[in-house]
A and B are shown apart, each in its own frame.
Chain A
Amino acid sequence: MFAVLIDQFWSLTIAGVALGFIYVLISLGYTMVYGVLRMINFANSEIFMWGTFGTVITNRDIFHYTQLSDPAKGWKLALVLISALLMSMFVAALTAVFVEFVAYRRLRAKGTNRLATLISAIGISIALQEVMRLLTASRPVGSPRVLEKIILTEVWGANIRLDTVITIIAAAIIYFLLERFIKLSRMGKAIRAVSQNEDAAKLMGVNLNRVITMTFLVGGLATGAAGFFYVTVFEYTKFNIGFTMGLAAFTAAVLGGIGNIRGAFLGGLSLGLLETYASAVLGTQWKAVTVFIVLVSVLLFKPNGLFGEAVQQTRA
Chain B
Amino acid sequence: MNSKIQRSLAVMSAAALVFGVATTSTTSAQAAPKKLYIAYQGPLSGGEASTGIDEINAVKYAVKLFNAANKAKFNVQVVAVDDQGDPAVASTVAPGTGSNKKIIGLVGPAYSGATIASLPYYKAGGLALISPSATRVSLTDPKSPDFGGPVFHRVVATDDKQGPALAKYATSKVNSPKVFVFDDQSAYAVPLRGYVEAAMKTMSGTTLVGGDSVPNTTTDFAPTLAKIKTSGANVVIYTGYYSQAAVFVKQLRDSGSTAIFAGGDGVFNQQFSVLAGASAEGSRLTGVAGLADVGAKQEAAFKKSMGISSGVYAVESFDAANIFLAGIKAGITDRAKMLKWVTAFKGTGIGGATLSFNANGDIAVGGFSGFTVTSGLLKNTGPVK
A residues contacting B by CB (< 8 A) are 3-4, 7-8, 11-12, 15-16, 19, 67-68, 139-140, 142, 144-145, 149, 151, 159, 161, 230, 233-236, 238, 240-241, 243-244, 276-277, 279-280, 283-285, 287-288
Interface of A is mostly: helix
CA distance A222 to B227 in the complex (A): 32
Asked if residues A287 and B215 are in contact (CB atoms below 8 Å), the reply is yes
Closest Cβ–Cβ distance, residue B345 to chain A (whole Å) = 40
Complex contacts, A159 vs chain B, CB 8 Å? 255-256
CA distance A101 to B290 in the complex (A): 50
Complex contacts, B217 vs chain A, CB 8 Å? 240-241, 243-244
**Interface check B380, CB cutoff 8 A:** no
Interface footprint category on B? 20 to 34
Complex contacts, B224 vs chain A, CB 8 Å? 279, 284
From B218, B243, B275, B278, A284 is in contact (CB under 8 Å) with B218
User: In the complex, what residue of chain B is closest to A69 when comparing beta carbons?
Assistant: B277
**Interface check B62, CB cutoff 8 A:** no
**Interface check B271, CB cutoff 8 A:** yes
Within 8 A of A (CB), among B178-220: 182, 185, 212-215, 217-220
User: Closest 4 A-B residue pairs measured CB to CB?
Assistant: A279-B223, A15-B222, A8-B226, A67-B277
Asked if residues B243 and A68 are in contact (CB atoms below 8 Å), the reply is no
Closest Cβ–Cβ distance, residue A89 to chain B (whole Å) = 20
From A233, A241, A244, A280, B226 is in contact (CB under 8 Å) with A280
A-B CB contact pairs (8 Å), 7 listed: A12-B222, A67-B277, A151-B256, A236-B246, A240-B217, A279-B212, A283-B213
With A7-B230, A145-B277 in contact, is A234–B220 under 8 Å at CB? yes
CA distance A11 to B277 in the complex (A): 25
With A238-B243, A244-B217 in contact, is A19–B274 under 8 Å at CB? no
Asked if residues B185 and A280 are in contact (CB atoms below 8 Å), the reply is no
Closest Cβ–Cβ distance, residue A108 to chain B (whole Å) = 33
Asked if residues B274 and A288 are in contact (CB atoms below 8 Å), the reply is no
Complex contacts, A233 vs chain B, CB 8 Å? 220
B residues contacting A by CB (< 8 A) are 182, 185, 212-215, 217-220, 222-224, 226-227, 229-230, 243, 246-247, 250-251, 254-256, 271, 274-278, 376
Asked if residues A284 and B214 are in contact (CB atoms below 8 Å), the reply is yes
Complex contacts, A285 vs chain B, CB 8 Å? 185, 212-215
Closest Cβ–Cβ distance, residue B223 to chain A (whole Å) = 3
CA distance A11 to B229 in the complex (A): 11
Complex contacts, A236 vs chain B, CB 8 Å? 219, 243, 246-247, 250, 275
With A145-B277, A244-B217 in contact, is A234–B222 under 8 Å at CB? no
**Other 5 A-B pairs with CB < 8 A, given A142-B246, A234-B219, A285-B215:** A11-B229, A16-B222, A159-B255, A236-B243, A236-B247
CA distance A244 to B277 in the complex (A): 25
Asked if residues B274 and A142 are in contact (CB atoms below 8 Å), the reply is yes
Most buried by A among B215, B223, B254: B223
With A15-B222, A16-B222, A149-B254 in contact, is A140–B275 under 8 Å at CB? yes
User: In the complex, what residue of chain B is closest to A141 when comparing beta carbons?
Assistant: B275
Most buried by A among B217, B219, B251: B219
With A4-B226, A236-B247 in contact, is A283–B212 under 8 Å at CB? yes
Closest Cβ–Cβ distance, residue B283 to chain A (whole Å) = 15
Asked if residues B215 and A4 are in contact (CB atoms below 8 Å), the reply is no
CA distance A213 to B244 in the complex (A): 37
Asked if residues A284 and B223 are in contact (CB atoms below 8 Å), the reply is yes
Complex contacts, A288 vs chain B, CB 8 Å? 215
Asked if residues A280 and B275 are in contact (CB atoms below 8 Å), the reply is no
User: In the complex, what residue of chain B is closest to A280 when comparing beta carbons?
Assistant: B223
Closest Cβ–Cβ distance, residue A13 to chain B (whole Å) = 10
CA distance A67 to B278 in the complex (A): 8
CA distance A295 to B159 in the complex (A): 39
User: In the complex, what residue of chain B is closest to A14 when comparing beta carbons?
Assistant: B222
Asked if residues A19 and B247 are in contact (CB atoms below 8 Å), the reply is no
CA distance A287 to B218 in the complex (A): 11
Asked if residues A12 and B226 are in contact (CB atoms below 8 Å), the reply is yes
Asked if residues B243 and A140 are in contact (CB atoms below 8 Å), the reply is yes
Complex contacts, B215 vs chain A, CB 8 Å? 284-285, 287-288
Complex contacts, A142 vs chain B, CB 8 Å? 246, 274-277
User: In the complex, what residue of chain A is closest to B227 when comparing beta carbons?
Assistant: A4
Complex contacts, A276 vs chain B, CB 8 Å? 220, 222-223
With A142-B275, A149-B254 in contact, is A284–B226 under 8 Å at CB? no
Complex contacts, A241 vs chain B, CB 8 Å? 217, 219
CA distance A234 to B243 in the complex (A): 12
From A19, A140, A144, A240, B222 is in contact (CB under 8 Å) with A19
Complex contacts, A235 vs chain B, CB 8 Å? 247, 250
